[in-house]
Chains A and B, each alone.
Chain A
Amino acid sequence: MLEKAVLEKYLSLAMSSQADFAEIYEEKEINENISMRDGLVEDVDTEEIAGIGIRLYKGTQSVYAYSHASDEAAVLPMIEDLKAAIGTSDKTASVTLTRVEYENRHPVKVDFTKTPLADRVQLLTRATNAAKEADSRIVKVMAGILNVKQEVQISTSEGRLIGDTRVRTRLMCEAFAKEGDNLQSGADRPGGGCGLEFYEQVTPEEIGREAARGAIVNLSAVDCPSGRMPVIIDNGFGGVIFHEACGHSLEATGVAKNQSVFAGKQGQRIAAPCVSAVDDGTIPNAWGSENIDDEGNFQQRRLLIKDGILQSYMIDRLNGRRMGQASTGSGRRQSYKYEPTSRMSNTFILPGDSSFEEMFEGIEKGLYCKKMGGGSVNPITGEFNFAVREGYLIENGKITKPVRGAALIGSGSEILMNIDRVCDNLARSQGMCGSMSGSIPTDVGQPAIRVTSITVGGTANE
């Protein structure tokens, strides 16, 4: 990371232009990927990423330059390019930085860079063995672990100098079950914003067994019927529905330019009264947490929806200027190769008061989505889709046979209004979210929710 005096020199130079704000983002990341197939270690790949990104604003215009090289010979021409793009001037600026200290909310107990490689391999062996031992029909198990340590330092022309170290780990296990010619897979991929102590809370054995369970269920699954029907989406990764259908449309990236269905709706009803939701980047050691965002602002707990009424958007600094609102600490990016923009952190629907059993009352024919796959949304139209990874038919209020190949589609503004019950079983789950500023870790989550009617696209020709 660059010295304070060097940063002050660069920021002063950058501000000696028509720019009214300047920011320098420095990053150094080491990540490690270990992969195992059927108990044998296949690859151990390590990657080091380090570089610098410099950004200037003039009003709502932004110019950005990045480079893997951060020596003066690389940085000075970058600053000159940026000044030329934003407009040169005779102005002479002087920036003085003050380092901001704070208490780390996300302490790490077991740093992967300080443990023997064999310890991480052992985690994969444990998950693999558990998956294989779960059922004789498990014929193949792939396991992988990702460990990341990212250090960032952000300095701005407003005099702020602040840093953060983010440590993350995630263990992925995919099991394949075979019966005759029928080959099906199941997977589990939990992770946390912490060190290897994570695997004391969530053991590799649990991860392996969960992957095997999913594969076995899919062996007996039948094609899912199609049409509009009531749907119960269970907790954990089920929250991808809120993430896709609503979360992205509440990001300032779209809202600021009136490119979101929820633009201009603050204070208005956008969801059923039983729905409250937050985006909380402060949860200790959660997968989507960090002390500060990638613009150097402290992460926050943002109440997005309260009793169905839109409270707040997720706002980065630049789009905040366009909206006339302050940043909510939501400026995130994959690496220095991306300009930050407003992004989610840990986003979830708050628990309601229905018991799990009450959720099923009165449903004659519907779909119970125990596990969701990923999905996507068009924030301009609000149309979303997502895949059901493990689903079951609901017949006369009871969960019956497993189905596969289902997709749920709809428009975000409509689905939020059609939630009629919210369960009390809140759980979060981990994912990678891709958008303009790259791929970043986010938690999705919710208690089980019931949607009165949603279009289910199935593979059954009925």
Chain B
Amino acid sequence: MNKQEWFDKAKAAGFAAFEIGTSRESGRSLTWYQGDMDTFVTKQSASTTLRALTAAGRQVVITTEHPEELDADAVLKKMAETAAVITSEDESFIREPAEALPAASKYHFVQPEPEAIRQALAAVEAKLSAYDPRIAQVTDLEWEEESAGKEVDNSRGMAVAESGCAQLLIAGVAAAENGEVKSEFRVEVVEDLASFDADTFVKKLCDEAIGKLGGAPIPSGAYPVILEKEAMTGLFSALSGMFSGDLIGKGISPLRDKLGQAVFSEKITVTDDPRLPELLMPVAYDDEGCPTARKELVKDGVFVKMLHDTKSGARMKAESTGNGFRGGVRPMGLGIEPGEKTLEQMMADMGDGLVITDLAGLHAGIDHVTTDFSLQCSGYLVKGGKRDRAVTLITVAGNFLDMMKHVVCVGSDVEWKYRTIAAPSIAFESLSIAGE
């Protein structure tokens, strides 16, 4: 599409500014089942978002996958009519261009030939199946490659383009014994399939699955609990909206009116860094073209900064933090800073208690206004500082803000992998468990 022509026509139609954002994705994936290719997918998609800003600061957004089919004059007329319906007093913005240093991922991917993918998946499947008689089935085995890119151009001279890529190997197994079945899966970022350590991958996955067997509930009550990094990351991700300056400004974030106050234990520091090299696709600019940066959101337990895009920032008389992504204010590279102890040391310190490794129902079992949660979970008991039997079909309940004030220890084991939000294992004084 001729972007300059759109900018000129938007100006002629009376708009104060006009933005064209494009995102592209392409990739392929291959799944493997019982010794052969199961499915193969190749994909390509592109989406263009047109954002028009009126002189009064009202914005109208149209997203299309086929911008070349649009009649600019008709679209602009419709956008003007739509803008007239918007009554919110909140002002929207289209930004002036600003320079940022490029952001680079630590990963350097080598794309494998299709035959190498088949051979690797066949080998992993064989190793999984042969690992232990209790590994009853390989439930998932997939290779995934993805490239993504974005462009942000606007009538104020903005012209930003970024891209990134990823390669993942995903496997799942079912472990079974005495009629009991447990499942586990694992995702690994693979830079070069030729040097992929399949044995370690298989061992970790199968040991996790087998370790879940023989689990049973425990009596209801309050237990010292370590939320292992995967579970902690899940819970923290589900509640990451609390840092959104948009939700805080609207008065529905649990951190409303809390800036400058101690909201977590002093052991907790939270940062957001979209430029983090550990991310698969770090970004130098957000989707408004605003440069991104590393920020401390919570410093030693004190809530010091919230995330903003340009609109939410203006509402609270603050600058954008470079967190204006598709769909609104979003964290990117949001993490709880790691401590110094390993999970084993944390268990030794705890003595007797519970380690929770899996949380389920995170999309439903949390009240995002109060941060009360009650979630199905599983894990294992710790006795005398050592891993004991598996625990399953219990729930853990609490209030996230309250829980984060009673932190015993923050672990050292942050793992970003394919995620944009990560947390280490954290030990808590006590959480409410419902079981037998």
Do chains A and B interact in one complex?
Answer: yes
Q: Which residues of A are in contact with B by a Cβ distance under 8 Å?
A: 37, 40-51, 60-69, 74, 78, 81-82, 85-86, 117-118, 121, 140, 176, 183-185, 224, 226-228, 257-259, 261, 337, 339, 373-376, 378, 380-381, 383-387, 404-407, 409-411, 455-462
Number of interface residues of B (CB under 8 A): 68
Contacts of A374 in B (CB 8 A): 361, 363-364
Known A51-B65, A176-B252, A257-B139; judge A44-B393 contact (CB<8 A). no
Contacts of B360 in A (CB 8 A): 376, 378, 383, 385
- Is B316 an interface position by the 8 A CB rule? no
Taking the nearest CB of chain B, how far is it from the CB of A17, in angstroms? 13
Q: Does B365 contact A68, Cβ atoms closer than 8 Å?
A: no
Q: Does B61 contact A43, Cβ atoms closer than 8 Å?
A: yes
Q: Does B364 contact A376, Cβ atoms closer than 8 Å?
A: yes
Contacts of B40 in A (CB 8 A): 62-64, 82, 85-86
Closest to B180 in A: A381
Q: Does B252 contact A458, Cβ atoms closer than 8 Å?
A: no
Q: Does B369 contact A183, Cβ atoms closer than 8 Å?
A: yes
Q: How far is the CA of A337 from the CA of B33 in the complex (A)?
A: 22
The contact string, 1 if C-beta is below 8 Å from chain A, for chain B 27-43, is 00000010011111111
Known A85-B40, A375-B364, A385-B376; judge A37-B395 contact (CB<8 A). no
Q: How far is the CA of A224 from the CA of B365 in the complex (A)?
A: 13
Q: Does B38 contact A259, Cβ atoms closer than 8 Å?
A: no
List 6 A-B pairs, minimum CB-CB distance, nearest first. Answer: A457-B395, A226-B434, A385-B376, A374-B364, A457-B434, A407-B374
Q: Does A81 contact B42, Cβ atoms closer than 8 Å?
A: yes
Partner of A40, one of B81, B89, B252, B375: B89
Q: What are 30 residue pairs bridging A and B, where the CB atoms are less than 8 Å apart in the complex?
A: A37-B88, A40-B88, A40-B89, A43-B86, A45-B63, A46-B62, A46-B63, A63-B41, A65-B43, A66-B44, A67-B44, A67-B45, A176-B369, A184-B369, A185-B369, A226-B434, A375-B361, A375-B364, A378-B183, A380-B139, A380-B174, A381-B183, A384-B376, A385-B376, A405-B374, A406-B374, A407-B361, A407-B395, A407-B397, A409-B376
- Is B261 an interface position by the 8 A CB rule? no
Contacts of B182 in A (CB 8 A): 381
- Is B163 an interface position by the 8 A CB rule? no
Q: Does A259 contact B174, Cβ atoms closer than 8 Å?
A: yes
Q: How far is the CA of A65 from the CA of B29 in the complex (A)?
A: 10
Q: Does A183 contact B174, Cβ atoms closer than 8 Å?
A: no
- Is B251 an interface position by the 8 A CB rule? yes
Q: Which residues of B are in contact with A by a Cβ distance under 8 Å?
A: 33, 36-47, 60-66, 81-82, 85-90, 114, 137, 139, 174, 181-183, 217, 220, 222, 250-252, 360-361, 363-367, 369-370, 372-376, 392-399, 432-436
Closest to B399 in A: A459
Partner of B364, one of A64, A82, A373: A373
Q: Does A65 contact B41, Cβ atoms closer than 8 Å?
A: yes
Q: Does A457 contact B397, Cβ atoms closer than 8 Å?
A: yes
Contacts of B87 in A (CB 8 A): 40-41
Q: Does A226 contact B183, Cβ atoms closer than 8 Å?
A: no
Taking the nearest CB of chain B, how far is it from the CB of A237, in angstroms? 11
Q: How far is the CA of A460 from the CA of B373 in the complex (A)?
A: 11
Q: How far is the CA of A128 from the CA of B63 in the complex (A)?
A: 27
Q: How far is the CA of A337 from the CA of B39 in the complex (A)?
A: 15
Known A40-B89, A62-B39; judge A455-B370 contact (CB<8 A). no
Q: Does B364 contact A387, Cβ atoms closer than 8 Å?
A: yes
Closest to A68 in B: B65
Known A41-B87, A140-B251, A226-B432; judge A387-B38 contact (CB<8 A). no
Q: How far is the CA of A49 from the CA of B366 in the complex (A)?
A: 32
Q: How far is the CA of A62 from the CA of B31 in the complex (A)?
A: 10
Q: How far is the CA of A462 from the CA of B366 in the complex (A)?
A: 20
Partner of A458, one of B139, B222, B364, B397: B397
Known A121-B85, A404-B367; judge A459-B432 contact (CB<8 A). yes
Taking the nearest CB of chain B, how far is it from the CB of A110, in angstroms? 18
Q: Does B65 contact A48, Cβ atoms closer than 8 Å?
A: yes
Q: Does A381 contact B181, Cβ atoms closer than 8 Å?
A: yes
Q: How far is the CA of A113 from the CA of B36 in the complex (A)?
A: 47
Contacts of B66 in A (CB 8 A): 48, 50, 68
Partner of A459, one of B220, B369, B374: B374
Taking the nearest CB of chain A, how far is it from the CB of B391, in angstroms? 13
Q: Does A67 contact B399, Cβ atoms closer than 8 Å?
A: no
Taking the nearest CB of chain B, how far is it from the CB of A256, in angstroms? 10
Q: Does A50 contact B65, Cβ atoms closer than 8 Å?
A: yes
Taking the nearest CB of chain A, how far is it from the CB of B84, in angstroms? 9
Contacts of B43 in A (CB 8 A): 65-67, 337
Q: Does B81 contact A117, Cβ atoms closer than 8 Å?
A: yes
Q: Does B85 contact A65, Cβ atoms closer than 8 Å?
A: no
Contacts of B89 in A (CB 8 A): 40
Q: Does B64 contact A48, Cβ atoms closer than 8 Å?
A: yes
Contacts of B251 in A (CB 8 A): 140
Known A41-B85, A78-B42, A459-B397; judge A47-B63 contact (CB<8 A). yes
Taking the nearest CB of chain A, how far is it from the CB of B170, in angstroms? 13
Contacts of B365 in A (CB 8 A): 373, 375, 385-387, 407
Taking the nearest CB of chain A, how far is it from the CB of B310, in angstroms? 15
Q: Does A259 contact B82, Cβ atoms closer than 8 Å?
A: no
Known A118-B85, A407-B361; judge A64-B39 contact (CB<8 A). yes
Most buried by B among A46, A50, A185, A409: A409
Q: How far is the CA of A88 from the CA of B433 in the complex (A)?
A: 57
Closest to B378 in A: A383
Taking the nearest CB of chain B, how far is it from the CB of A81, in angstroms? 5
Q: Does B86 contact A455, Cβ atoms closer than 8 Å?
A: no
Q: Does B434 contact A227, Cβ atoms closer than 8 Å?
A: yes
Closest to B363 in A: A374
Taking the nearest CB of chain B, how far is it from the CB of A437, in angstroms? 12
Contacts of A184 in B (CB 8 A): 369-370
Known A183-B369, A375-B361, A385-B365; judge A69-B434 contact (CB<8 A). no
Contacts of A68 in B (CB 8 A): 44-47, 65-66
Closest to B397 in A: A459
Contacts of A64 in B (CB 8 A): 39-42
Q: How far is the CA of A385 from the CA of B177 in the complex (A)?
A: 23
Q: How far is the CA of A140 from the CA of B250 in the complex (A)?
A: 9
Q: Does A455 contact B434, Cβ atoms closer than 8 Å?
A: yes
Taking the nearest CB of chain B, how far is it from the CB of A122, in angstroms? 10
Taking the nearest CB of chain B, how far is it from the CB of A355, in angstroms? 30
Taking the nearest CB of chain A, how far is it from the CB of B266, in angstroms? 23
Q: How far is the CA of A394 from the CA of B251 in the complex (A)?
A: 34
Q: How far is the CA of A404 from the CA of B366 in the complex (A)?
A: 11
Most buried by B among A60, A61, A373, A457: A457
